[in-house]
Amino acid sequence: MINKAEYTKRRKQLMQKIGSHGVAILPSASLACRNGDYNYPFRQNSDFYYLTGFEEPEAVAVLIPKHKNGEFILFNRPKNRDEEIWEGVRAGQEGARKEFGANLSYPMTELEKRLPELLEGRNEIHYTLGLNGAFDKILLDAINKIRGKIRAGLHSPISFIDITETVHEMRLIKSPAEIAIMRRAANISVDAHIRAMQACKPGINEFQLDAELQYEFQTQGARFPAYTSIVGSGGNSCILHYVNNNQIIRNGEVVLIDAGCEYQNYASDITRTFPANGKFSPEQRAIYDIVLKAQKAGIKKIRPGAPWPVVQEIMVKIITQGLLDLGLLKGNLRNLIENKAYFKFYMHKSGHWLGLDVHDVGRYKVNHKWRTFQPGMVLTVEPGIYISSDLPGVPKRWHNIGVRIEDDILVTTKGHEILTEMLPKEIDDIEALM
Ligand code: GLY
Ligand code: MN
Ligand code: MN
């Protein structure tokens, strides 16, 4: 659990960054209709959650450095017994102050009335325009109200600054408490993958393995996956974000599972590929060996100061060489890399940041230069080779082999730690496990 003091510290840090002339505004996520009068399960906006720990919809956080009445103002739903009987308990205004550290809390219905007085006198509004049209309008109306009173001496804000830049840079470096949660998320996902691998046999449906994953997630306290689980057998292993998960798994096919739980709102993201019948065929083994070698080499490059692209560069080199050795690419290694000949087999990047979002926030380039790794960053390394049956010029025996191997890596002061290391990925270990 992230404690109250850490949320306070994050808000203080943010307020320090925006300065005493600024004001930050963050709306919560909204409920979204699934069908009829039912909603999707609510998931808080990650930036809002990062700064408040507050998990209810219909809320707005206003952070006003050095404001005379308090710096953290939360608009949220008031207590309402009738509605709470149907939908669950709410913090209400008292809870917002006592449990979540708000200096002031008002019912959401007072937002439009109170917003002008909170913005008045500030120069910069730190807010992300364009994500929430309804709230953009509320905010612009509030500014117009202040503009209408400048003859009375009121000062209207001058500029908008995108708050995501500031918050996302903070989110990029994980605190010890966040790392502890991500470790737990990783461990649960490791168990889920092991469970699915052991449950696999030819003749069952992909959705049965999806259910095994979900069972392990939920029984260990992770209610939802961090993204829709990918369980692709045979040709489906070559569809990068395959989510139908509804085909029969056949003898002789590979199964690619890309799945990770969300634990206390933090994501994990693991991929393993294994033979449906528990024994790799020579072709599956050959492709798997290349991807595994590439992944290990990519991970090895991760240490403080190393720039992002070194991971992809080494993996592209190993994958291209491997495909050359198998005769699936022909020509000269350097030319093949330069011309991106590998791209028809390996068409994505080496990975992404991981955190509250599976494709987590934070820039990959700063001032047009690739970012270098720093302790506290978490990222995935996930090379793959995908040979779909419609790939021109590839002999049939290689068809429908899609292999991806993905782990979650924490950058440490000394180098890195593989958070998902406990999940086997050596061929012998996978065969033994199955
Ligand atoms: N699970 C999505 C990804 O690996 O990026
Ligand atoms: Mn990933
Ligand atoms: Mn993944």
Q: Rounded CA gap, 33 and 274, in Å?
A: 37
Ligand 1 center from residue 98 Cα (angstroms):
38
Q: What are phi and psi of 252, to 5 degrees?
A: 90, -10
Please choose, from the candidates 415, 345, 419, the residue with its C-alpha nearest in 3D space to the C-alpha of residue 381.
419
Whether residue 375 is found in the same domain as residue 339: yes
Q: Rounded CA gap, 260 and 193, in Å?
A: 9
- Count of domains forming the chain: 2
- Per-residue pLDDT 10s for the chain (434 aa) are 999 999 999 999 999 999 999 999 999 999 999 999 999 999 999 999 999 999 999 999 999 999 998 999 999 999 999 999 999 999 999 999 999 999 999 999 999 999 999 999 999 999 999 999 999 999 999 999 999 999 999 999 999 999 999 999 999 999 999 999 999 999 999 999 999 999 999 999 999 999 999 999 999 999 999 999 999 999 999 999 999 999 999 999 999 999 999 999 999 999 999 999 999 999 999 999 999 999 999 999 999 999 999 999 999 999 999 999 999 999 999 999 999 999 999 999 999 999 999 999 999 999 999 999 999 999 999 999 999 999 999 999 999 999 999 999 999 999 999 999 999 999 999 999 99
Q: Rounded CA gap, 15 and 76, in Å?
A: 21
Residue from 242, 266, 346, 386 carrying the catalytic annotation? 386
Residue from 258, 262, 357, 408 carrying the catalytic annotation? 258
DSSP 331: S
Q: Which residues line ligand 1 (CB under 6 A)?
A: 227, 258, 269, 352, 358, 382, 406
> Among the atoms of ligand 1, which is closest to the Cα of residue 241?
2
> Among the atoms of ligand 1, which is closest to the Cα of residue 269?
1
> Among the atoms of ligand 1, which is closest to the Cα of residue 271?
4
Whether residue 106 is found in the same domain as residue 181: no
> Among the atoms of ligand 1, which is closest to the Cα of residue 351?
5
Please choose, from the candidates 200, 209, 211, 203, the residue with its C-alpha nearest in 3D space to the C-alpha of residue 231.
209
CATH of the domain at 356: 3.90.230.10
Whether residue 197 is found in the same domain as residue 330: yes
Q: What are phi and psi of 209, to 5 degrees?
A: -70, -35
The strand pair at 401-404 and 384-387 is best described as antiparallel
Q: Which of 230, 257, 269, 408 to mutate to test the pocket of ligand 1 (most atoms within 8 A of CB)?
A: 269
Q: Rounded CA gap, 320 and 382, in Å?
A: 16
Residue from 97, 114, 359, 371 carrying the catalytic annotation? 359
Active site residue 359: yes
Whether residue 417 is found in the same domain as residue 429: yes
Active site residue 404: yes
Whether the CB-CB separation of 412 and 378 falls below 8 Å is answered with no
Whether residue 156 is found in the same domain as residue 197: no
Sequence-distant (≥ 6) Cβ neighbours of residue 413 within 8 angstroms:
304, 375
Please choose, from the candidates 336, 323, 331, the residue with its C-alpha nearest in 3D space to the C-alpha of residue 403.
323
Domain boundary among the residues 170, 187, 222 is at 170
Joined tokens for residue 225: 């996956």
Q: Rounded CA gap, 223 and 245, in Å?
A: 19
Ligand 3 center from residue 269 Cα (angstroms):
5
Residue from 193, 404, 407, 408 carrying the catalytic annotation? 404
pLDDT confidence of residue 51 = 98
Joined tokens for residue 348: 């994505």
Q: Which of 237, 352, 354 to mutate to test the pocket of ligand 1 (most atoms within 8 A of CB)?
A: 352
- Judged by DSSP in three states, 14 sits in helix
pLDDT confidence of residue 30 = 95
Whether residue 189 is found in the same domain as residue 303: yes
How buried is residue 114: exposed, middle or buried, by Cβ count under 10 Å (0-12/13-18/19+)?
middle
Active site residue 82: no
Joined tokens for residue 124: 């910069």
Active site residue 269: yes
Q: Rounded CA gap, 77 and 388, in Å?
A: 51
CATH of the domain at 80: 3.40.350.10
According to DSSP H, which parts of 53-175 are helical? 81-87, 92-98, 111-119, 133-147, 163-172
Whether residue 112 is found in the same domain as residue 237: no
Q: Residue 54: give the domain boundaries.
A: 4-170
